[in-house]
Structures are given as structure tokens and as C-alpha cells.
Structure 1
Amino acid sequence: MTAVWPGEWVASRLGVRLADGARPAGAGLASLVGLAVRRNPRRAHLLVSAVLGKHVPTDPRLVYGSGLLLGELVRARLRDEAASVPSGSLADALAGVPGASAALRDAMREPHPPVNAIVLGYAETATALGHSVADALGGAYYLHSTRRPVPGFVAYGGFEEEHSHATSHLLLPSDPAALDRDVPVVLVDDELSTGQTVLNTIFALHEIRPRKHYVLAALIDLRNEEDRARVDELAVRLGARIDAVSLAGGRVELPDDVLEMGERIVSELSADVAPPREHGAFPIARISPGWPHGVPDGGRHGFLPEHRVALEKDLPRMADAMATELGAGASRVLMLGFEELMYAPLRLGEALADALPGVDVRYSTTTRSPVLAVDDPGYAIRTRIAFPSHDHPADGPGERYAYNVAPASDGPAFDRIVFVVDDVGDTQALTDGLLARLRSLAPVLVVTVPSYRGDQ
């Protein structure tokens, strides 16, 4: 039986259409994204990625392999040479061919000469994606924007993501000199819709430190000709080269009244959404995985190639510790990350999947993004767990979400949940909120990693 595309529900009700463009990685838009309805009056639809691991629990090797593949496209553009894209690997992995996700990941880990660059990822969605791109380049310095001010770190710059539900971003490098270099800058996001966010970023960065070359990298590129012309105009204005790469291109066609229809759907269905199936109070266990000393938990304050080397060495050991704690009998395990903390759980999940070859390991993360859940096979967000924030965010407390963690009415449940959190977010509010919800679904293992503070 042919699987239902997880965008049909929205396409039929909102009139949203995807039109394919370039396929540099051999996959089209509809295989890379599904559709959902946002709870956002400025943007009715959400493109839900099949390879990002944010809203949809996904094989972590497919997530990491896709990020490395995007990084290979960046590497080839920086070196002005042909990209090394394994034929059919991404399409096979998206189609669920057994072993294809691991094969894609392994193929993209083949070493290349390191490329010196600065890679910037956008919080919260693209923090691990940007990190994966930096890994593919080998010699890159990585930094992601953050919505969490940290005492002791001075902001290098900021920018606005105009369509977002939470627009303030900060750059908080522990070593600002790492950004003050005339090397190529790679800006990584999950999608390029209009390109306005990256234009704002390039302009702000160029005012501080001019550079000769910028590359925009995204899983999908939806810009129209007018959007692309704005990039070309900025390049001329700055006297710089600005390139763009993506796994797939195309466009999203929207009816004129899409915002009104989206608001009406949210209003009509919000009160009718059934709560997720819950089964009682399962146990919660905790471990410290022995995160390698001196290795940041992510790119909030910068991540160097030598950090990646140290992390790679210790990943199998940490995966074995988690596998031992999970015990025998696990068959479907979710590795759940925490908002901007996406890279650590991704790499831990990837290592756990390698350590437990007979177990279906999936990866996703919690998010600030409010999205309507509809329990229908043709809709990308089947279930939603809502809970209060638990890391003392600068903009005050608010509601947070975990999507597709509770089982859909016709889908399998996870029999273990591993929640990865930094020590700043491991609070009583977490225990009383999200963990209380998760333990009603399955046994929970909390893995706490040290939040990097610059003095480790």
C-alpha cells in the first residue's frame, strides 16, 4: 500500500501546493517535507521536514547524513568543484529502505581535505543542521544563534527572523576573534523562504567585519526570482560573492486567503483535539553520560574541529552507557532533545542506533513553535504534548511543545524515551511539566549534559 503524503490534509483544505525545482540531492520537495497548520497569524502553513528531526521523530542517521550531505554541497561550492553526492542514497533513506539511512551517513563521512570557514546556524530549528554542515567541512568554526542570554558572554551581534514566533537572536561566541576573520561565512537554516533572514544577517555581519564570500545553505530553497535578485543586489552592494545551495528547490503556491483559512481551521479544531493516549506512571531514571571534558554541548558559544574529534572518540562509550541503562526489551526508542540543544542528542541518538542495531531509534526535539495537531495520516503533526518552559528563558515563561511523541491513533508507541537536557534546563519545572507527561507514555531516561560556560 502506498504511504499517504503527510501534506495532503493541508493541501486539500488550505489549497497549498508544492512545485518541484532543482534536485541536486536526488529528492524533491514532497519527499523532504510534509505540511501542518501554524498557530501563527502571520504564516498559516508549516513545512515539516522529513530529515531535520525537529517535529517528526526520524532515524538520527538520516538526520545527520542529510546535514553532512548539505555540507558536501557547501564544500563543493567553496572549492568550486563538483559535489560528491551518492546516487539514490537520500531517496532510498527517505523511502525507508532498510540500511539506507546508515549508508547515507557513512558515505557522507568519507574524509575530504578540511575547509576553513565560519558556519552560523539559526536557532532553534537549525542548530544541529548547521553543526552537521560544519562537521562536513572539517576545518570550520561553528556558532549558532541563541535565544538564551548567558551571564559572562557579550553579544557579538543580532538579527531578526521576521516571520518567527520568537524573533530575537543573539550571537554569543566565547572567542569573538574567531568571527573576526576574512574566511567564507556559511549561513545555515532549514529552509530559505524569502531569504530575508539571511540578508539581514549578512548585512549586520558585514558591517562589523567585511568578507569576500558568503554561502546560504538550506535543506530546501523556496525563493522566487525577486528574492534571488535581492541577494544579487546585496552582493554587488557589499562587493562580495553570495552563493546558495540546498538539497532541493521549488516553490510553495498559496491562495490569497490562506491566512484567514488557517486561522479558521485553528479556531475550529483546537477545542476538538483529543489528548494523547496515556498509560500511567512509568519510572524515570537519570544518568550523566560522561560528556567529554572541555567539549561544548553545542555551538551556542562556538565549536571547534578539535571539539568534534574529542566528541567522536567518546560517542560509543556514552551510547553503551545509555544502552545499558535502557536494559533489554527496548524495541522503539525516542531520543528527545531540548529546543536549541539539538546536536548533542542527535549525535548520541546516532551512536545509540549503531549500538542497538535491532532497535528502532528515532530522534526529535522539543520546540517553542505552536502548531496545530491533527490525528490524520495525511497531516505531518499527529499529536502534541504541551508543557511549561523549564530553563528560565530571557523572554519569560511560556508554553513549549513536543510533537509526534505520543502515539497517533493508528501508530506504534515508543517503549522507551531518552530525554537529553543541559543542566540549566534540568529544573523542578522540567520534572513537574514535561517529564510528568513523558512518563505517562513510557519509561524515561534523563541524560543531563553540562552546559558550556567558557570555563570548562
Structure 2
Amino acid sequence: MTALPPGWPGSWVSARLGVRLADGPRPVGVGLADLVGLAVRRNPRRAHLLVSAVLGKHVPTDPRLVYGSGLLLGELVRARLRGEEPPRPGAHVADALWGVPGAAAGLRDLMRAPQIPVDAVVLGYAETATALGHSVADALGGAYYLHSTRRPVPGFATYGGFEEEHSHATSHLLLPADPAALDRDVPAVLVDDELSTGRTVLNTIEALHAVRPRGHYVLAALVDLRGTDDRARMDELAERLGTRIEAVSLAQGHVGLPDGILESGKALVADLTARAALPEGAAETFPVSRLDLEWPSGLPDGGRHGFLPVHRSRLEKDLGRMAEALAAALGDDASRVLVLGFEELMYTPLRLAEALADTLPSVDVRYSTTTRSPVLAVDDPGYAIRTRLAFDAHDDPADGPGERYAYNVAPASGHDGFDRIVFVVDDAGDTPALAGGLVARLRALAPVLVAPVPAWRGR
């Protein structure tokens, strides 16, 4: 098994549940323990959670590291599609992960260098990989992007659906505004944050291939944990369908799980939940304000119904203007700012956070999003999820009400919190339940700026 770095945010779980990481190939010079920490799920089907250091979902992260890592994954895809040598980022990834000043921006800028556009269909998986898939499509330049969604939208017919077998909320939909953009014989790239067994993506390929056969599929993930049998299953499917299926990732390896880990995980969650202290009431509340970003008319807020290169160009033209508006609204004394996205709405807040970090170089700007995923929080430096805010769903979800979460937003022991929080939400989630739920929790921590964007409905 891999020797783990000091202070690794997975050592707590490793010591108590016996979870171990083993490195495989390191395509970009970093290993599993560099890219992920560990936490414990509140899920009866899977005890552990790999918590990414570059995804920006559960851990507030420099948005330039998040975007740069996604672009790097896209460049690995480009190399595979074009039969070229993969990119060599040198020490950029490791330096950015270790917080070397300027390294995250350097990685992002290196990966943004202009390349020949590649036509492809890129599919990202909700909810964790929606921005990652966007970033891969950005790197390809000429790609059409669509992410799965758990939100049915009137007026959009379902192209297909699939099940994510280990997930806490398994229904996925594909709702392209223009099915013809998806239904083309060009390479299809399927993007997720991790490949554990690969069953989800193989199920997707089989469903897509039944509608529109393709000659080439690429699976793209930050980490690839598949075993020998899983890889053989991919090859068998490719042979049966008469197509080519390949995989790329930033790191490969294996997660070693001891026997009885599900029972041990349940017992650990039950014990810590029973002993958890109730949070104290806030001594004060901070102000809440709102900002109209003047979102460009007709520009999709993300890839739920499809995102084209022309949309990407339009967004790039307006990002600087919107970031300047955010900077002005935050005031001159902001020093540590969190830009918080909303579940599947990950790409828009990521790009806004990235542009804000460039606009305010002296401010520590971080990015993460809310999530449906229930995870145990443990305030220990060897654990990846140190604090948890729980609140009610605020977008009237089709599968009914439920609890939602924001992790590592509240300050952990011995850590400073954020002095400003920007919450980017689409209009479906901008409801009275938001004000009484999540925003009420956030305003106990810092001044909150709500920045709504219109959910694109194809018109």
C-alpha cells in the first residue's frame, strides 16, 4: 500500500476502518493520496467516501486548481482522441495541490493554451461531475456538452436515463434541448469524478449505443480505481458492441477495503452521531444582500440542456464584467471569500469564482457547492469533512423534500472561517425556503451575498 503523506485528510478513516490506498500509474505526476482524502458516508451501501482535493464539491478549493485540473483531464482526453502524446504538466499539479503561490493559476493558464478544436459529445454525471465535464469540454474546444440531471424540466423530453448503483439518489435524466446535437456519430466522452467499478459509465455506453452507435468512447475521471475484472468488463463490452472504449484519469490505483467495512462504518456513524454535541446558537447574524449579475440573455447557466462552443465564447466575454460586479459588492475589506454553488449548478459558480480570484489577487477565494450526499463530519485534521451545515431542500425537488448539506464551510477548530460568502443559485432554488434554510445558516457565519442566475429553459 502507498505511504501516506503527513497530515493526510484520510488518516482518521484509515486508522478506524482499515481503508488503504495503493497507487497505480501517475499520468500527471501525482498519486491517489495527493488527489483524495477519506470520509465516512451516511449510506448503508457504501461505508467510505473519497473526497477530492481538486473537484471543489465538499472541500473549498482554489477555483483555478479546480478548473485547471478539469482542463488537464480534458487534455488527456484530447491526446487519446487524436492519438497524440499526453500533456506533461511537470510539477504544476503537485505545486498547486501543496499551495505553492501562483501554482494553481499557472496550471490553469498552462492548460488554457489554444489547441486545435476537437469535435465530440461530452457527458458529465450529476451531481458531482457537472463542472468537471464542462471543463473537459472546454479543453476540447469544439465539443457539445450535456450533463445528466435529477431535475425533470417541463418542455424537455428525456433522451435516456441510467442508474448510478452506489448513489444515495439514483435517478438520472438526459434532457438535451436539441437531441440532434447529441445524436451524432462523433466520439463520446463520459466524465465522472471517479471510476470505482465503471458500471455506471458502461451502462450509459450501452444505452447510448443502442440509439446511436459510435466508433469511439472515452471514460474520463480524476481517479481510476477499477480492478482487473472491471477493466475486462469494459473490453468485453467494446468487443460486443464493435466499438472502441478507452479510459483516462489523473491518477490510478486501488482502494483496499477490509471485510465487514459496511457494518463497521454503520457502527462508527451510529456511535459518533449519538455522542455529537448539538450546535450552539449563533451569537449574531450577519447581513444578507443580493446582486443582479446581469446574466447574458439566452446564455445557458450550465449543461443541463446542452452547452455549445458558442455559449462558451459568450460566457468568456462576460466573466470579467460579472467578477468585477461581485468584487465591488463584496467591499474593500474582504480577505477570505467562499463562492458556494448549488448542487448540479457547479460550472457557473466555478467560473465566477475563478474570475473573482483573478480580479482580487490579494484575496483568498475558494469554491465549493452544496450537495445531497450525507456524510459524517469529524473535526479532526486527519479527516476530510470537518464541519457540516444541514438544511432543507429549497428547490421543490421532484423526488420529494430532503436534507441537503454544505461541508467545510463553517470554521473547523483552529481554523479561520470565511469573511464573505457568495451563494450562486439558479432561480428554481431561489425560494423562500432558501432564505429560511441555507441562507439562515450561512449568515450565522459571515455576510452573505446571494447571486441568482436564470435557469435556462431553451428560450
Contact residue 276 and residue 407 of structure 1 kept, 8 A: no
Within 5 Å, which residues of 2 pair with 1:176-325? 176-274=179-277, 278-325=282-329
Name the CA distance, whole Å, in 2 between partners of 1:179 and 1:318: 30
Give identity over the alignment, percent.
76
CA RMSD of aligned residues (A): 0.9
Please report how far the alpha carbon of residue 3 of structure 1 lies from its aligned counterpart in structure 2 after TM superposition. Answer: 5.3
Q: Which amino acid aligns with 1:88?
A: A
1:14 aligns with 2:17: yes
Name the CA distance, whole Å, in 1 between partners of 2:256 and 2:113: 38
Please report how far the alpha carbon of residue 85 of structure 1 lies from its aligned counterpart in structure 2 after TM superposition. Answer: 2.5
Name the CA distance, whole Å, in 1 between partners of 2:240 and 2:72: 31
Contact residue 276 and residue 385 of structure 1 kept, 8 A: no
1:371 aligns with 2:370: no
Structure 2 counterpart of 1:156, from 148, 155, 159: 159
Name the CA distance, whole Å, in 1 between partners of 2:66 and 2:387: 21
Within 5 Å, which residues of 2 pair with 1:338-417? 338-417=342-421
Structure 2 counterpart of 1:440, from 439, 444, 455: 444
Please report how far the alpha carbon of residue 84 of structure 1 lies from its aligned counterpart in structure 2 after TM superposition. Answer: 2.0
Aligned to 1:98: 101
Name the CA distance, whole Å, in 1 between partners of 2:64 and 2:82: 26
The Cα offsets for residues 273-303 of structure 1, whole Å up to 9 and x where unpaired, read as 3456744210000011111122100000000
Name the CA distance, whole Å, in 2 between partners of 1:95 and 1:15: 26
Q: Specify the SS of the correspondent of 1:329.
A: coil
Aligned to 2:147: 144
Aligned to 1:122: 125
Please report how far the alpha carbon of residue 412 of structure 1 lies from its aligned counterpart in structure 2 after TM superposition. Answer: 1.2
Q: Specify the SS of the correspondent of 2:344.
A: coil
Please report how far the alpha carbon of residue 364 of structure 1 lies from its aligned counterpart in structure 2 after TM superposition. Answer: 0.2
Contact residue 282 and residue 444 of structure 1 kept, 8 A: yes
Name the CA distance, whole Å, in 2 between partners of 1:428 and 1:266: 32
Please report how far the alpha carbon of residue 27 of structure 1 lies from its aligned counterpart in structure 2 after TM superposition. Answer: 0.6
Q: Which amino acid aligns with 2:12?
A: W
The Cα offsets for residues 245-292 of structure 1, whole Å up to 9 and x where unpaired, read as 000000000001110110000000013334567442100000111111
Normalized against structure 2, the TM-score is what?
Answer: 0.98
The Cα offsets for residues 27-65 of structure 1, whole Å up to 9 and x where unpaired, read as 100010000000001000000000000000000000000
Name the CA distance, whole Å, in 1 between partners of 2:194 and 2:113: 26
Within 5 Å, which residues of 2 pair with 1:324-339? 324-339=328-343
Name the CA distance, whole Å, in 2 between partners of 1:273 and 1:291: 42
1:87 aligns with 2:78: no
1:59 aligns with 2:62: yes
Normalized against structure 1, the TM-score is what?
Answer: 0.99
Name the CA distance, whole Å, in 2 between partners of 1:332 and 1:39: 30
Name the CA distance, whole Å, in 1 between partners of 2:73 and 2:112: 12
Q: Specify the SS of the correspondent of 1:116.
A: coil
Name the CA distance, whole Å, in 2 between partners of 1:448 and 1:17: 41
Q: Specify the SS of the correspondent of 1:139.
A: coil
Within 5 Å, which residues of 2 pair with 1:422-441? 422-441=426-445
Contact residue 157 and residue 170 of structure 1 kept, 8 A: yes
Name the CA distance, whole Å, in 2 between partners of 1:66 and 1:85: 13
Name the CA distance, whole Å, in 2 between partners of 1:3 and 1:328: 37
Contact residue 276 and residue 406 of structure 1 kept, 8 A: no
Name the CA distance, whole Å, in 1 between partners of 2:326 and 2:111: 26
